[in-house]
C-alpha cells in the first residue's frame, strides 16, 4: 500500500471522484461529496474521527483517505476489525503481551498501538470491544499510554485513532454495552458514510468501474453494460451497499460471454430468471385443472420469509441478518418463525 496518496480530487469528467489510498472512492452524489468534504477538513488534524455507516458502504476507504491526506501519511496505517478477534485476545491484539502472559504466549509480541506509533490506527467495528477493552482504549486516547498484557511497564505512543461502526452507538450506550465516556471521546468528529440507496446517481459509475476491473481480472472483453441491466441496478435497494453491487457485477462478469454485461437474475433473491420461470411453470402444472388457487396471506408471508432467510444464509441477527433485511427485531423474527413453523432443515 502506498502510504502517501494524493489529496482529495475535484470532480473530473464523468463526475468521478477518486481517492486512491488503496482502493477508490467513486461518485459525485451530494451525499457522498458531503462526506468527502468532511474528510478534507479533518484529515490534516490529529482529531479522533468516528465513521458511521451500514455494512459495505466503504468505511475503510474513508479511513484510508483520511490517513492519505494527513500529516501522518508517511507512517503506517494499521487496521483492526474488532469483531474479528475473540474477546479474550482483543487486548493482546491492541496492546501486545509479554512472554508467559497467558497460555500460548510463548514470546513477547507488540500490539497494534505500537505498530501504529507515529501513524494511524483504524479500529473497524469498534462496538465489538468488550467493556474492559473499552476502558483501556479510553486511557490510551486520553493519556497516550498503556501496558502490554502481563506487563507493568508503561508504553507511550503517538497514534491517531480512527474508529468505525455499523451500529448506532447511542443506543449501545443506553443499553450499557458501550461506555458513554469512550463514545464521546471517539465521536469528536463524526463522518456518516451514506448507503448506496441514498447515492443512486453513483451506481452507473460504480458499476462500470467494477465491470472494467472484473474484465481485467478475468481477461474478458467487457465494454458496456446492458441498458436494462443498468436500469435494474439503479433501481435496486442494495442492502449490502457498494460491496453488494461489486459482488453482483463480478457474478455477471463471470457469466458474460461477449462485450456486453447483463444481469440475468433477480437482484432481490439471487435466483436466475430462467429458474424462476421453471419454478412458476412447475407450480402451474402441479395445480389441479380449472382450479383458482389463491395463496393466503400467511402462505405469502412464509414464502417471503423463507426467501430472505436463504439470502441471509439463515443468519437472523446482525447487519446482514434476515431480521435486519425484513425490518424486524430479532425477537419478533423468531416469534414469526415459530408461529409459521419455519425451521432450517439440515438433512
Residue 8's pLDDT is what? Answer: 34
Q: What is the CATH number of domain 295-347?
A: 1.10.10
Helix (H), strand (E) at residue 190: strand 189-192
Residue 21's pLDDT is what? Answer: 40
Q: Average the pLDDT over each of 24-28, 41-45, 135-139 and give the range with the smallest value.
A: 24-28
pLDDT for residue 206 is more than 80: yes
Looking at the chain, the whole-number percentage of residues with pLDDT higher than 70 is: 84
* 212-217 LR contacts (CB < 8 Å, sep 24+): 214/249, 214/250, 214/253, 214/254, 215/253
pLDDT for residue 284 is more than 60: no
Residue 327's pLDDT is what? Answer: 74
Q: Average the pLDDT over each of 2-11, 35-44, 244-253 and give the range with the smallest value.
A: 2-11
Looking at the chain, the whole-number percentage of residues with pLDDT higher than 90 is: 61
Residue 287's pLDDT is what? Answer: 53
Q: How confident is the model at residue 116 (pLDDT cuts 50, 70, 90)?
A: very high
Nearest partner of 82 among 28, 40, 137, judged by Cα: 137
Fold of 13-194: Rossmann fold (3.40.50)
**Chosen CATH of 199-261 out of 1.10.8.60, 3.90.550.10, 1.10.3720.10, 1.10.3760.10:** 1.10.8.60
Residue 273's pLDDT is what? Answer: 57
Residue 18's pLDDT is what? Answer: 41
Nearest partner of 341 among 313, 310, 308, 301, judged by Cα: 301
312-339 per-position pLDDT tens digit: 778 888 877 888 877 788 888 888 888 8
pLDDT for residue 60 is more than 50: yes
Q: How confident is the model at residue 214 (pLDDT cuts 50, 70, 90)?
A: very high
Domain segments of the chain: what residues? 13-194, 199-261, 295-347
Nearest partner of 233 among 264, 277, 192, 193, judged by Cα: 264
Residue 290's pLDDT is what? Answer: 53
Kindly state the greatest CA–CA separation across the chain: 83
Residue 202's pLDDT is what? Answer: 96
pLDDT for residue 283 is more than 80: no
Neighbours of 110 (CB within 10 A): 13
Q: Across the strands, what pairs with 12?
A: 16
Q: Average the pLDDT over each of 99-103, 129-133, 258-262 and give the range with the smallest value.
A: 99-103
Q: How confident is the model at residue 183 (pLDDT cuts 50, 70, 90)?
A: very high
Burial 51-76, CB ≥16 within 10 A → b, else e:
bbbbbbbbbbbbbbbbbbbbebbebb
Q: How confident is the model at residue 4 (pLDDT cuts 50, 70, 90)?
A: very low
pTM equals: 0.72
The helix/strand count (H/E) of the chain reads as: 14, 9
Residue 165's pLDDT is what? Answer: 97
Identical fold for domains 199-261 and 295-347, yes or no, is no
Amino acid at each position: 500500500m502506498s502510504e502517501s496518496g494524493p489529496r482529495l480530487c475535484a470532480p473530473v469528467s464523468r463526475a468521478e471522484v477518486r481517492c486512491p489510498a488503496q482502493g477508490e472512492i467513486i461518485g459525485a452524489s451530494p451525499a457522498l461529496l458531503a462526506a468527502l468534504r468532511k474528510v478534507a477538513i479533518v484529515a490534516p488534524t490529529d482529531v479522533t474521527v468516528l465513521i458511521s455507516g451500514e455494512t459495505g458502504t466503504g468505511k475503510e476507504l474513508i479511513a484510508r483517505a483520511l490517513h492519505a491526506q494527513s500529516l501522518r501519511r508517511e507512517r503506517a496505517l494499521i487496521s483492526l476489525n474488532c469483531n474479528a478477534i475473540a474477546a479474550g485476545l482483543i487486548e493482546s491484539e491492541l496492546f501486545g503481551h509479554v512472554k508467559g502472559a497467558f497460555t500460548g504466549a510463548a514470546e513477547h509480541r507488540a500490539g497494534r498501538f505500537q505498530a501504529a506509533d507515529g501513524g494511524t490506527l483504524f479500529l473497524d467495528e469498534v462496538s465489538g470491544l468488550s467493556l474492559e477493552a473499552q476502558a483501556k482504549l479510553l486511557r490510551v486516547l486520553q493519556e497516550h499510554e498503556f501496558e502490554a498484557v502481563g506487563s507493568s511497564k508503561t508504553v507511550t505512543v503517538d497514534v491517531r485513532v480512527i474508529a468505525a461502526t455499523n451500529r448506532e452507538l447511542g443506543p449501545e450506550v443506553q443499553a450499557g454495552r458501550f461506555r458513554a465516556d469512550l463514545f464521546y471521546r471517539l465521536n469528536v468528529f463524526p463522518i456518516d458514510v451514506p448507503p448506496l440507496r441514498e447515492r443512486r446517481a453513483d451506481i452507473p459509475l460504480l458499476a462500470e468501474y467494477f465491470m472494467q476491473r472484473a474484465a481485467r481480472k478475468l481477461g474478458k472483453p467487457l465494454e458496456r453494460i446492458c441498458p436494462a441491466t443498468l436500469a435494474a441496478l439503479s433501481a435496486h435497494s442494495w442492502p449490502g451497499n457498494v460491496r453488494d453491487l461489486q459482488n453482483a457485477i463480478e457474478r455477471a462478469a463471470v457469466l458474460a460471454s461477449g462485450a456486453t454485461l447483463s444481469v440475468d437474475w433477480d437482484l432481490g433473491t439471487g435466483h436466475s430468471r430462467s429458474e424462476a420461470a421453471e419454478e412458476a411453470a412447475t407450480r402451474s402444472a402441479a395445480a389441479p385443472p380449472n382450479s383458482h388457487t389463491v395463496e393466503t396471506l400467511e402462505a405469502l408471508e412464509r414464502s417471503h420469509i423463507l426467501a430472505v432467510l436463504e439470502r441471509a444464509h439463515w443468519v437472523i441477527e446482525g447487519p446482514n441478518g434476515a431480521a435486519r433485511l425484513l425490518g424486524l427485531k430479532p425477537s419478533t423474527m423468531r416469534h414469526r418463525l415459530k408461529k409459521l413453523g419455519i425451521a432450517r432443515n439440515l438433512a
